[in-house]
Structure 1
Amino acid sequence: MTISGEPTDADPPVDLSVGGVEDRVAERAAVEAEFSAFYRVDFPRLVGFLILVGAGREDAVDAAQETMRTLHRKWGEVRHPKAWVRTTARRVLIRALGSLREEVFGEPPEPAAALLVGDQDMWESVERDEVLAVLRELPPCQRQALALTFDGFSPAEIAQILDVPATQVRGNLARARHTAVIVLGKRKGERQ
C-alpha cells in the first residue's frame, strides 16, 4: 500500500468473501485444536523434565507456562515442538533463576506425584523419589542429558536441544549412569 492507503500491485489481494473468511476461521480453529492437544499432553511432561533437571515445582511450572505461551504465538513456525519447548524452557528457567537473589534455606523435597504425570509407564519399576534424589546429585550437564533420555530423546536429539556435540552427550550419559549406580549403591548400603 502507498502512504495514502491506496493498494499497489505488490499488495496481495484480500479475500473478503464469506467463504474466504469461513476458511480462515476453520483453519485457525484447527491450529488452535492442534496446539491445545500438544499442550495437554506435553505440559505435565515439560514440568517433570524441568524438575528432573533441578528446578523446584513452582519454578518449573512458571518456566513451562512461559514457554508454552511463546510456543502458542510461534506455533506455525516451530517444526519440532517437543524439542523446542525443552530447549526454550531450560533457557527460561536459567534466566529466571539467574535473576533471583533469595537466601536459600535448603530445598524442600518435591512430591513424587509431580514427576512426569503423563508418562507413568516409564516410572512403574523405579521409585520416583529415589530417581529424583540421584539426579540431584549429578552435575547439571549429566542431569540434563539423563532427564532428556528419560523423556524419550536420542543422544543426537539431546545434542541439538543442548547445542553440544553428540559425543559429549554420550559421554555425559555414560558418566551419569556410572555415577547413578554408585549413588544407588551407597543409598542401598545406608538403608541396610
Structure 2
Amino acid sequence: MPGEDEERFREFVVEQWGPLTRTAYLLTGDRGAAEDLVQSALEKTHRRWGRVLRKDAPGVYVRRVMVNTAVSWRRRRRTVEVPLLEADAITAPDAYHRAENRHHLLGALRRLPPRMRAVLVLRYFEDLSETDIAQVLGCSTGTVKSQASRGLARLRADLKPPSTLIGTSLQEDPA
C-alpha cells in the first residue's frame, strides 16, 4: 500500500497547494517565506503520512505543522519589521481584492504575536471553527476565543484612522 499512500499524498499536495500557500503567506507576510513554510510543512507531513491518514484530517495536521513551524521560525529569527518589496505591492486578482486597505491590514497582522496572528488567520481567512482552531493549535477553545478577541481589538486600534487636527495650520507661527 505504500504506492497508494504516495499517490494520495501527491493528490493532497496538488489540491491543497494554493490554500496552504495563502495561509502561509498570511502567517509569514512574505511570499518566499510562505513557500518555504509550505514546503517544510509538507515535508514533515510526508514523513508521517500513513499515521496522518489514520488519525487526523490531513488539512488540520498540515496547518498545525505550519503554525508551529512559523512560530518557531519567528522565535529563532527575531527579525525587525521587513518593508514591503515592490513585488508585494503589486496586487494580483484574488479573493481579498475588495479590501481597500489590504496592505495596512497585512502590516497590522504582521505586528501581532505569532499565536494571535495564527488564530485570526485560521478563523477569518481559513474560516475554521473555534474548535478546529483549538485542535490545530493544541489549546483550549477558550484560549482561541480570547486570542481572537484580543487580536481583533489590537487590529482595530492599529487600523483606526488618524485623527485630524481641525483649525491648526502647519504654517502658523507659534510666537
Same-fold call, TM > 0.5?
yes
Task: Check whether the contact 1:48–1:114 (CA below 8 A) recurs between aligned residues.
Answer: no
Contact 2:71-2:115 within 8 A present in 1 as well = no
Q: Which residue of 1 aligns with 2:64?
A: 87
CA distance in 2, matches of 1:172, 1:61: 26
Describe the shift of the 1:140–1:94 C-alpha distance in structure 2 as closer, same or farther (beyond 3 A): closer
Give yes or no for the alignment of 1:172 onto 2:140: no
For 1:1-192, list aligned pairs within 5 A.
Answer: 28=3, 30-78=4-52, 79-100=56-77, 104=79, 106-109=81-84, 111=88, 120-121=94-95, 123-127=96-100, 128-149=102-123, 150-186=125-161
CA deviation map 1:124-145 (0-9, x unaligned)? 4324323312212333332111
5+ residue gaps, structure 1: 1-23
In structure 2, the CA distance between the partners of 1:80 and 1:165, relative to structure 1 (3 Å rule), is same
1:98-119 deviation line (CA, Å, top 9, x unaligned): 4458xx564131626799x9xx
Q: 1:100 to 1:164 in 2, by over 3 A?
A: same
Provide closer, same or farther for how the CA distance between residues 139 and 114 of structure 1 changes in structure 2, counting only shifts above 3 A.
farther
Unpaired stretches in structure 2, ≥5 consecutive residues = 165-175
Specify the SS of the correspondent of 2:28: coil
Cα distance in structure 1, aligned partners of 2:99 and 2:6 = 36
For the aligned residue pairs, the C-alpha RMSD in angstroms reads 3.1
Return the alpha-carbon distance in structure 2 between the equivalents of residues 154 and 55 of structure 1.
23
Q: CA deviation at 1:68?
A: 0.7
Q: Which of these two proteins has the greater Rg computed from alpha carbons? A: 1
- Number of aligned residue pairs: give it: 157
Residues 105/88 of structure 1: CA separation in 2 closer, same or farther (3 Å cut): closer
If the length of structure 1 is used for normalisation, what is the TM-score?
0.66
Amino acid at match of 2:157: I
1:108 and 1:42, CA in 2 relative to 1: closer, same or farther beyond 3 A?
Answer: farther
Q: Displacement, 1:164? A: 1.6
TM-score of the superposed pair, with normalisation by structure 2: 0.71
How far the C-alpha of 1:163 sits from its partner, in A, is 1.6
AA matched with 2:61: W
Identity %: 25
* C-alpha spacing 1:113/1:67, structure 2 compared with 1 (3 Å): farther
